[in-house]
Amino acid sequence: MKPSTKTILIPVGSIVAALILNAAIIALTGRDPVAVFRKMLGTTLASPYGQGQVLFRMTTLVCTGLAVALPFRLRLFNIGAQGQLILGAFAAALTGAMLPEGLWPALTITLPILAAMTAGALWGALAGVLKTAFGVSEVISTIMLNFIAEGIAGYLLTRHFALASTVHTAPIRAAAEIPTFWNLAGWFRSSPANLSLLLALLAALLFYLLIFKSRFGFEMRSAGLRPEAAARAGINPAMHALTAMALGGAAAGLAAANLVLGYKHFYEAGMVGQAGFTGIAAALLAGAHPLWVTVSAGFLALLEYGGLAVNAYVPKDIFMVMEAVTILLVVSFSALGAGKR
């Protein structure tokens, strides 16, 4: 079987197998699986509001999925997208709230986004420095940095930046808000889906071009596959590892454009949910391919909102099980395929 065919068949087969397993679990609860899935699709893909909710969640997951996918190409496992997103969202909210009046309109949106990406990139680069300079496993460092980021944001919020009697910062300037599709064109009725979706898709395209269509990306992949051979060829594996972690952090920070500028318009405790960790699932399901991340993010967003939509019929946790089973099957089938080569 060709590698390209296998790349498609493994996730598709895993999703089908997970659907069958979830149908069996739903049946054990006494519900009709067909009716539940029909209800889920009816409230998501068949509803303008549901479509918008799926696209809104997908936007964040594309960014956090890219944060994992790029370092994965260098055999680096960035589990720190959660912390990178938290600090990025916090930086975007503070920048957006502190913008001076009368600033050029393009800058009022650009500056908070750049602040978010810079915060995420610096936090990702810190894990890269720990890896390249001190040999600290990026898995351990990014996990710990998630806790540190959450603690830093929580302390600064509650002690310095939260409005009185609230758990959120001051709202950003109105000019810094990214318009929703509903307000702009009347699409996806009253949903929070906004133009930051285009930024996420553009980031996926740029990551694809960087990884597969540029000399820098070739060197990056070479450094990940054979670091010793790459070093003998004049490639600096440490530099590429540091760059990949920084770019991954910047991608996670970009998700703040969706959550802060396009939706909440301030930073609030707990607002990012578990998006950073779900991004890991999106990257694994996509085989760490930037363009496929957009598809896997859409699928996971569908499960996430679909589970909420049918929560009155079956526990939404069942769809979390489906998500986890899908990833386990993808990893297992990939390992079996590699073992047969």
Domain boundaries, the chain: 32-313
pLDDT value of position 326:
79
pLDDT value of position 301:
95
Note down pLDDT in tens along the chain; length 341 residues: 455 566 677 777 878 888 888 889 889 888 899 999 999 999 999 999 999 999 999 999 999 999 999 999 999 999 999 999 999 999 999 999 999 988 988 899 999 999 999 999 999 999 999 999 999 999 999 999 999 999 999 999 999 999 999 999 999 999 999 999 999 999 999 999 999 999 999 999 999 999 999 999 999 999 988 988 999 999 999 999 999 999 999 999 999 999 999 999 999 999 999 999 999 999 998 989 999 999 999 999 999 999 888 887 888 888 888 778 878 877 777 666 555 55
Q: Which two tokens stand for residue 246?
A: 């920084």
- The residue among 111, 51, 96, 141 whose CA lies nearest residue 267 is 96
The torsion angles phi and psi of 268, rounded to 5 degrees, stand at -130, 140
pLDDT value of position 10:
76
- The residue among 149, 31, 148, 4 whose CA lies nearest residue 88 is 149
* Contact (CB, 8 A) for 27 and 168: no
pLDDT value of position 25:
86
pLDDT value of position 67:
98
Q: Determine the Cα–Cα distance for residues 92 and 154; give it in Å rounded to an integer.
A: 15
30: left (phi > 0), else alpha (psi -120 to 50), else beta?
A: left
Q: What architecture is the 32-313 domain classified under in CATH?
A: Orthogonal Bundle (1.10)
pLDDT value of position 202:
98
pLDDT value of position 19:
85
pLDDT value of position 190:
95
pLDDT value of position 331:
74
pLDDT value of position 15:
81
